[in-house]
Amino acid sequence: MRRATIYFRLPALLLALAGGVCLPAAEPVGEAGRHGVRNLFPTVAGGREWFAEWDWPRTVKPYGLDPRDPLCRNSSDVPLRIADGVATFSPGTTRLYLLTPTNAAGQFATAPWRNVELTIYARRGASSRSVGWQALYLSARSGWVHDDKLPCEGTSYHATARFDGQFGFKKELWHTGGYTQLAPARPPRPWPTVPVGKWVGLKFICRNFDRDRKVKLQFYLDADERNEWKLITEFDDAGGWRGEQPGCDRPPDMILTEARPVVYFRTDHVAVELKKFSVREIAPLP
């Protein structure tokens, strides 16, 4: 997976005012919730919830905040166009971030994202060029910055639906040398490639277990937009999953158990349409 440089500053007061986007009412489990999408795990009591509200037409400039939702940032080099429930990107280094609000003093106004269920429907379009790392990604436990100037902020767990058909996970311990190899070691291939011109649903579950000492990663697919979610692969980060190079004075197999301020969707050099994007804070496992 090639690394892209990403940098942004947060207008603190604006994000603090967006705290109302995080809804306190828990979504139902095992039935259609917001956006009509079935939830696999309940929202934890008092946990954060965010749902894309994309009916009102607008354009979000590159590296800009959504004027209707300042928790949503287009951290891409191409504009984001929104209308009729769909967000559309032309080919570029596409990154769509969901942020944690801060107050005027730069402190978190709500708890950062930790144990999450991320859901999105995506429709792949034409590519501007083909590269080996092309995929649809859902990412959790990211820092504010993925940038050479602040490499230690560049953390994430990535669930990746690769265009070569493989499903799996990567961990980013620092930017840019701290990536692991794809896990599990023999990734499943439920299809030859991510289909072009077809809506597919992706769910990424990232949550702690063993009393917050380890992390369970699960990747679900709704291949035919029937709201039928199949577990494609899972992996436990329980130690030994090492980054390519040491850095940031971190153990080379550090487990990312702490809450972090950003979750996001990513793809590269391909047009993509997105809908029904959501993230909910769920409970850890014992």
pLDDT tens digit sequence for 225-259: 999 999 999 999 999 999 999 999 999 999 999 99
Nearest to 158 by CA among 172, 178, 146: 172
**What confidence tier does 29 reach under pLDDT thresholds 50, 70, 90?**
low
**How does DSSP classify residue 69?**
E
Nearest to 202 by CA among 191, 186, 215, 218: 218
Q: What is the pLDDT of residue 28?
A: 52
Per-residue model confidence as pLDDT tens digits over 128-180? 998 888 999 999 999 987 778 889 999 999 999 999 999 999 999 998 889 99
Q: Can you list the domains of the chain with their CATH numbers?
A: 12-281 (2.60.120.560)
Task: Indicate if the pLDDT at residue 59 is higher than 50.
Answer: yes
Q: Give SS3 for 162.
A: strand
Cα(206)–Cα(216) distance, integer angstroms: 6
- If one counts every other C-beta atom within 10 angstroms of the C-beta of residue 130, the result is 9
Q: What is the pLDDT of residue 10?
A: 41
Q: Give SS3 for 160.
A: strand
Provide, rounded to the nearest whole percent, the portion of the chain with pLDDT above 90. 82
In the chain, how long is the greatest CA-to-CA distance? Answer: 49
Burial (CB count within 10 angstroms: exposed 0-12, middle 13-18, buried 19+), residue 66: buried
